Amino acid sequence: MPDYIIGTMIIILSKEISAHDKKLVYSLLKDSGYTVREQTLCGDTLISASGKGLAMHELEILPGVERVAQTSKPYELASRETRADDTIVSVGPVKIGGARIVVIAGPCAVESREQIAEVAERVRDSGAVILRGGAFKPRTSPYAFQGLGMKGLEYMKQAGEALGMPIVTEVVSPELATEMKDLTDMFQIGARNMQNFELLKRVGALRKPVLLKRGASATIEEWLLSAEYLLASGTNDVILCERGIRTFETFTRNTLDISAIPVVKGLSHLPVIVDPSHALGIRAYVHAAALSAIAVGADGLTVEVHCNPDKAFSDGPQSLYPDQFEKLMRDIEALAPVTGKELQRLPPPNAKKVSEISFSSAWTAAFSLITEKIAFSGRSGAFAERALINAFGEDADRLPVSSFSGVFDAVLDGRAAFGMVPVENSLTGSVHENYDLFLRYPDVVMTGEIKLRIVHCLMANEGADLSSIKTVRSHAQGFAQCRDFLDKHAEWYLEIHPTTTDAVLSIVKDGSKNAAAIASEAAANAHGLVILKAGIENNLQNYTRFAIIARKQEGKQLIPAVSGPKKPNKASLVFSVKDEPGALISCLGSLSGEGINMTKLESRPILGSPWSYMFYVDLAIPEDEALFNKALDALKKQAVKLQILGVYRAAA
């Protein structure tokens, strides 16, 4: 029997298809009674066709047709059946989706030029990357504050531009959409308008990013069908926002459907964020709900913040005070590594290119804007690559090299603007090789750090199992971090490789079913290996601290003039001491005398000088920078040699 298509199908056209061949495809579909709609998604031309009667091979053999797929979902453009990879939506310099957690913040409504400017500055200082605020407010009561209209939108646009923040605001009618287009970076479709289909079609046709909130009584399928309206009308950039649904519960404004987040992320490739402010309606509960959303996989949050919530024109009881929002941002930053993500940050206002950024403030730059290469040791799927993606974004131009020293070389000779190297693991301690490399490369310094949760997997070629394994390959750190598991298999021979991905590639190359590798799940997926056992590290609390390195720029001040939560607050240095009693105590006294907190102290032998040692120290930089500088001056007088490895912002 022919493979007849009944329902909806997707025809993906070749990028080289001729106008004649494209017309032929359309003619066959329309002559067969199909309803046809064209959409461009990530550079590919897709034809969505609904009907019945054609066999798949009748379409697949047509010139210019790359692939034909039938979808069981009525929201085919939003479905993972159409696109397996996550969509990443760009809103100005901000990317929503993928390895970043994005926080949108601002008041419920724009009340005045001064109010929105003040809130914008406070939320940006705390780490928000997009400014929210309502200029047009659809309210249940006709007597409630309805917003300042276009004047309010102009105030918000001015506040966003002054701070380098894109803005998002709600559009409430098709007529206003065109008028608002040039004043907002992203449209918001509110819960009340989720099924205002004429509005969805008009906004989608403007081809700008859209934040689509779930209706208070909408099912997940209805929500995704609304997204389908936007995608079918022209925009490729839709972000879904869960903001609570109406249930019988009365203790909160709505009921946050936390389960919707993983469900929707399984059904759709679109990014999903959460609005805990509208979901709960009570400020005291927003913090816990926000962290819960991040924990289950949300790509970000939109949070209401007001400098004086008790006098807010709209939704004051659910709006956070700026200090509460700052605490929430700190907690999100601490939680992010557990989810395998990193908190998105913006560059300083009016920041320019990498060459103009001081090495010690590079961590405060918007790494997602950097176009130069970033070096890491290993190949696709390496833990260092994941750390790189979390810090710099999925679009970062990566330079894989074969060794840790190769990363330093690439940074030093200019092939890479930054490098990513592991320096410490929570189970096995310091990566001494890299600490020693800082001594060999004094012109390379730490510009920042990032913590990554490390989950090790045992992987092998298809057909292998635990009983067939005789040899296991990995980096020495991989073996050390999985020692408890390996001790249960004493019969296995352990073979050390330069990186975990080198071990993976060796398995792929020889095709043996008797050899396995220890590496990341991403490495197994990237190279087609089967995971025999996941989570084999000694302890679930297994984190690696990676240093972001760059070439030292001469003439830059040690601590740049950066204020607020992005200010560098950590220094790493190494020193040696005189061969006399009390020498180390005198050096440490130089630090404690000025109240400098030492967070790490470790000794390492000096190569070529038996029984002589260098001391590696991490210091917390106090709010009063003068104390830190004074302590360094005192340490220089006591130490034989002092080298500052970097001044940067500590990871959470």
Among all residues, which ones are annotated catalytic? 544, 546
DSSP state of 548: E
φ/ψ bin of 234: left (φ > 0), alpha (ψ from -120 to 50), beta (otherwise): left
CA distance 402 to 623: 40
**Angstrom distances, CA of residue 115 to CA of 80, 119, 148, 184, 615:** 42, 6, 12, 18, 51
Contact 70, 5 (CB under 8 A): yes
For the chain, the distance separating the N- and C-terminal CA atoms, rounded to the nearest angstrom, is 61
Contact 447, 569 (CB under 8 A): no
Q: What are phi and psi of 469, to 5 degrees?
A: -75, 130
Beta bridge partners of 494: 472
CA distance 69 to 79: 12
CA distance 136 to 109: 8
Query: Which distant-in-sequence residues (6+ apart) come within 8 Å of 30 by Cβ?
Result: 36
Query: Which distant-in-sequence residues (6+ apart) come within 8 Å of 569 by Cβ?
Result: 620, 621, 649, 650
Cα–Cα–Cα angle for 285, 289, 291, nearest 5°? 125
Q: Where are the alpha helices (DSSP H) in 173-259?
A: 174-180, 197-205, 220-233
Q: Cα dihedral angle (224, 226, 228, 233), rounded to 10 degrees?
A: -160
At position 152, the amino acid (one-letter code) is G
DSSP β-ladder status, 444-453 and 570-576: unpaired
DSSP state of 139: -
Beta carbons within 10 angstroms of residue 440's beta carbon: 10
CA distance 346 to 331: 18
CA distance 375 to 398: 6
